[in-house]
């Protein structure tokens, strides 16, 4: 089974697929409009971003948030040749699908690592083996990602309950609208924040230990000094979209975003 190390993006081993396959819409996240299949003008001849160190000041914040969960390098490895040497449409169509499958594997790997998941360990491993097998499908466009996600989600819910235990209704904020909420220093330990809208929320010094954050929208959320130790189903993309600092406590599987002070 793939480890979470295998599911980290390695841009140096990719043909810059996200810079070509994805659509950019001119907005606060992207300085330009770019159609799917059209190379970004900042992509150089070696498949590297020519403004990588200046993406945010140049208006490409969205690029600093995106994480392919290692799908880009895997598709590049399988193809053997870049989209400049052969038609790349199949690679471009495969990227978002494999990314979703790798995201599921990221969550399953985390669940398997957690000691509290022991009662469902066999089910988790079976699901992980299944998703990994599906991820090797030659034509990924035939994969029913929604069906795969539904099966995995049930196991992730069980894992969440095992880790967090019984909590008060006050800590059940699943899907809650917490946009701009003032939650500085809040006790959110083991809270259910699945799918919660935390855009621009003030979470400075908040206790988010073992909180379930799967699908939570953390865009511009202030995590300065927050404790995310053991936070469940957190992703690098969520952290990249948020604001934090050196006092923010992160689980060991994550890299502190370079734009954090």
- Residue 244: inside a domain: yes
Q: What is the pLDDT of residues 56-98, one digit of tens each?
A: 999 999 999 999 999 999 999 999 999 999 999 999 999 999 9
φ/ψ (deg, to 5) at 41: -65, -15
> How far is the CA of 94 from the CAs of 72, 98, 137, 162, in angstroms?
9, 6, 10, 34
* Boundaries of domain holding 179: 167-261
- pLDDT for 204: 98
- pLDDT for 213: 98
CB 230 within 8 A of CB 212: no
- Residue 191: inside a domain: yes
- Residue 50: inside a domain: no
Lowest mean pLDDT among 5-9, 230-234, 239-243: 5-9
- Residue 217: inside a domain: yes
What pLDDT band is residue 168 in, cutting at 50, 70 and 90? confident
- Residue 192: inside a domain: yes
Please state, as a whole number, how many other Cβ atoms lie within 10 Å of the Cβ of residue 13: 13
pTM of the model as a whole: 0.95
Q: What is the pLDDT of residues 148-159, one digit of tens each?
A: 999 999 999 999
223 membership: H or E segment, kind and range: none
What pLDDT band is residue 3 in, cutting at 50, 70 and 90? confident
Q: What is the pLDDT of residues 10-41, one digit of tens each?
A: 999 999 999 999 999 999 999 999 999 999 99
Which CATH number do you get for residue 220?
2.160.20.80
Q: What is the pLDDT of residues 204-240, one digit of tens each?
A: 999 999 999 999 999 999 999 999 999 999 999 999 9
- Residue 147: inside a domain: no
With 80 as the cut, is the pLDDT of residue 1 above it?
no
- pLDDT for 2: 78
Q: What is the pLDDT of residues 84-140, one digit of tens each?
A: 999 999 999 999 999 999 999 999 999 999 999 999 999 999 999 999 999 999 999
- Residue 98: inside a domain: no
- pLDDT for 164: 97
Q: What is the rounded distance in angstroms from the CA atom of residue 212 to the CA atom of residue 232?
A: 5
Q: What is the rounded distance in angstroms from the CA atom of residue 218 to the CA atom of residue 238?
A: 6
- Residue 24: inside a domain: no
- Angle (CA) 64-179-258 rounded to 5° is 20
How many domains, the chain?
1
Q: How large is the average pLDDT for residues 157-164? A: 97
CB 190 within 8 A of CB 165: yes
């Amino acid at each position: 089974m793939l480890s979470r190390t295998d599911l980290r993006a390695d841009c140096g081993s990719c043909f810059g697929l996200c810079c070509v396959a994805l659509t950019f819409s001119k907005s606060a996240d992207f300085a330009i409009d770019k159609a799917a299949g059209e190379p970004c003008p900042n992509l150089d001849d070696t498949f590297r971003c020519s403004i990588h160190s200046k993406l945010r000041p140049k208006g490409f914040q969205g690029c600093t948030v995106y994480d392919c969960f290692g799908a880009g390098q895997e598709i590049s490895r399988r193809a053997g040749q870049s989209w400049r040497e052969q038609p790349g449409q199949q690679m471009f169509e495969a990227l978002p699908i494999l990314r979703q499958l790798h995201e599921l594997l990221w969550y399953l790997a985390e669940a398997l690592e957690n000691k509290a998941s022991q009662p469902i360990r066999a089910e988790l491993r079976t699901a992980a083996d299944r998703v990994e097998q599906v991820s090797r499908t030659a034509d990924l466009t035939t994969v029913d990602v929604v069906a795969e996600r539904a099966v995995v989600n049930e196991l992730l819910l069980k894992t969440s309950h095992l880790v967090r235990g019984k909590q008060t209704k006050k800590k059940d904020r699943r899907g809650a609208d917490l946009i701009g909420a003032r939650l500085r220093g809040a006790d959110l330990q083991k809270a259910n924040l699945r799918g919660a809208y935390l855009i621009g929320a003030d979470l400075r010094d908040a206790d988010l230990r073992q909180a379930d954050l799967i699908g939570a929208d953390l865009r511009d959320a202030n995590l300065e000094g927050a404790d995310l130790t053991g936070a469940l189903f957190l992703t690098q993309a969520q952290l990249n979209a948020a604001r934090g600092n050196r006092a923010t406590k992160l689980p060991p599987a994550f890299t502190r975003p370079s734009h954090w002070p």
